[in-house]
Amino acid sequence: MKAEIITIGDEILIGQIIDTNSGWIAKQLLQFEVDIVQMTSIPDTEEAISTTLKEASARADLILITGGLGPTKDDVTKKTAAAYFGTTLIRDEHVLRHVTNIFESRNLKMLDINLQQADVLANCEVLFNDYGTAPGMLVRQNQKKFIFMPGVPFEMKFLMEKHVLPLLAKQDPDLFICHETILVGGIGESYLAEEIKDIESELPSSIKLAYLPTLAFIRLRLSGKSRNKSDITLQVALFKTKLLHRLQQYVIADYDTSIEPYLIKELGRRGATLTTAESCTGGSLAASITAVAGSSAIFLGGTIPYSNALKQQLLNVKEETLIQYGAVSEQTAIEMASGSKKAFSSDYAIATTGIAGPGGGTIEKPVGTIWVAVAGKKEVLTKKFQFNNERLINIERTRMNALLLLWKLLVKEQEQDTQ
C-alpha cells in the first residue's frame, strides 16, 4: 500500500510551528509496511487543498490529512473536501453532544461557531475524537481511503491509534508482519552499517533492516513479512541473534525501547535511585526522565545550578575548583555529580556543565565544550565533548550523551560485580 501525508496550515509554511505530525505518522505506518510516497504541507486555501487531494489520489491508496478542521473562517478543509467529493456537510448528533458536554464541563459558553465542530462530510465514516472537539473523517472513494484528522498532535495520535492503525491491521489478515528491535549506543550510524554490512547482505527479500538514529543512539529494526508466521518469526529471530552477537559491546536493549525507559527499568531492577545536576542542559535531562511513567520509582529530583554560587550552595562545589579550573571543567563536573549524590542521598547522579552557545566561548574553551560526569557506587565517570552545533542541538547532544554515560557506568559496575 502507498500512502501520502498532507498537513494543512499557514502556520507550518511560515515556520510558526514545526510539523511533527508527518514524521510520527510515517513511523506508525512503517510497521504495516506502508510506503510513504510523499509528504506535503499546504496553506489553508480551497485551491491548494483541492489540487493536493487530486494529485495525492493519483499517487497513493491512503491519503492522511491533518489540520484545518477548526471552527474559524481560515479552516476551510471540510468545506473544500465536501466540494471535492461532491457531497455536503451534515451535523452529527453524537459529535454535537460530545462538543456540548466539553463546553458545559468547563463552564464555557457554547457559541454558534462551535456548533460547526459537529459538521462532518455526509459520505464519511466518523472517527470519534474523545480528546477534542474536531472528529476525524474517513472517506472511501475509487478504492482510495482519505482520512481527515485534527492538526493538534495529541488528538491526531489518538485517532491514529484508536481508528487508523486498527484499520490497517485488517487490510490483509493472512499477511503476518513481525518486528524485532535492538537499541544500540556508542557507535555512529555509518560505522554501524559498516560493522554489520555482511549480515545485512544476507537478509532475504522478506526481511528489511531499518536504521532509526537519534543524536546518540540507534534503533535497529528488523521487519519480516510473510504468509507463514512461524517461518518469518524464526528467520527474523535468527538475524536478530546475529546482530546481537556482532554488536554486543554496543547493545543497550534487545527490545523496542528508548534510553530513558530502559535506564528507569534497569535502575529499578537494582533498587537504585538517581539525581541530576544540570548547568548547560537547564533541566532537559530531568524532564526527559520524568516524562516516562514510573520514573518516580528511581528519580529523586534534580537541580539546575546555572551560576557558580548555586553550584557551591547546592552541590558543595569548592570555590577553589571554580577559580582554578572554571565552571566548565572535569573537576567541576565531578564535584557537581558527587555533590548531588551526597546532598540528596541518591545512588547515582549525573552532572552537566558546558558552553552551549552561541556566546560565552574562549580560545581555550570554545562554544560546544561540554563536560559530563556520572557518579556511581564506587567511581565517577567523566567525558569531554566538543560539539559544533547551535545551542539547542548542543543541549540535546549533551542530554543524550549523559544518559549514554550512565548506561556505560551501569555496564561497568555489573561486569565488576560478576568478576
Write out the DSSP string of 354-395: E--SSS---SSS-TTEEEEEEE-SS-EEEEEEE--S-HHHHH
Percentage of the chain with pLDDT > 90?
Answer: 81
Nine cell digits for residue 346: 541518591
Which residues are within 8 A (CB) of 231 and not within 5 positions of it... i.e. 6 or more apart?
A: none
Within this chain, do residues 291 and 390 fall inside the same structural domain, yes or no?
A: yes
32: its cell numbers: 504495516
Residues 341 and 369 in one domain: yes
Which residue segment(s) compose the domain that 365 sits in? Answer: 259-418
d(CA 373, CA 382): 4
Mark out the alpha helices in 217-363 (DSSP H runs).
Answer: 229-246, 259-270, 284-290, 308-315, 319-325, 330-343
The pTM score is 0.78
pLDDT for 277: 98
Predicted pLDDT at 31: 76
For the chain, the domain total comes to 3
pLDDT of the residue at 176:
84
Q: Report the SS3 class of residue 232.
A: helix
Q: What is the pLDDT of residue 199?
A: 98
Instruction: Assess whether 138 and 180 both reside in one domain.
Output: no
Same domain, 147 and 100: yes
Q: What is the pLDDT of residue 322?
A: 98
Domain identity same for 195 and 107: no
> For residue 70, what pLDDT is reported?
82
Asked which of 141, 169, 197 is the last residue of a domain, the reply is 169
pLDDT, position 150:
93
CATH assignment of the domain containing 347: 3.90.950.20
Q: How far apart are CA 52 and CA 76, in angstroms?
A: 14
Domain match, 83 and 162 both: yes
Question: Burial of 258 by CB count in 10 Å (0-12 exposed, 13-18 middle, 19+ buried)?
Answer: middle
- The CA distance from 116 to 111, in Å, is 10
> In this structure, are strands 144-149 and 136-141 parallel, antiparallel, or unpaired?
antiparallel
**pLDDT for position 208:** 92
Give the DSSP letter of residue 203. -
pLDDT of 413 = 96
User: 85-124: per-residue pLDDT in tens?
Assistant: 999 999 999 999 988 998 888 888 888 888 889 999 999 9
Query: β-pairing, 176-185 with 217-226?
Result: antiparallel
pLDDT at residue 407 in the model = 98
Residue 1: predicted pLDDT: 87
| Low-confidence residues in the chain, pLDDT < 70 | none
Which residue, 135, 169, 203, sits at the end of a domain?
169
Last residue of some domain: 253, 276, 311?
A: 253
CB 367, CB 346: distance < 8 Å: no
Q: How far apart are CA 63 and CA 56, in angstroms?
A: 7
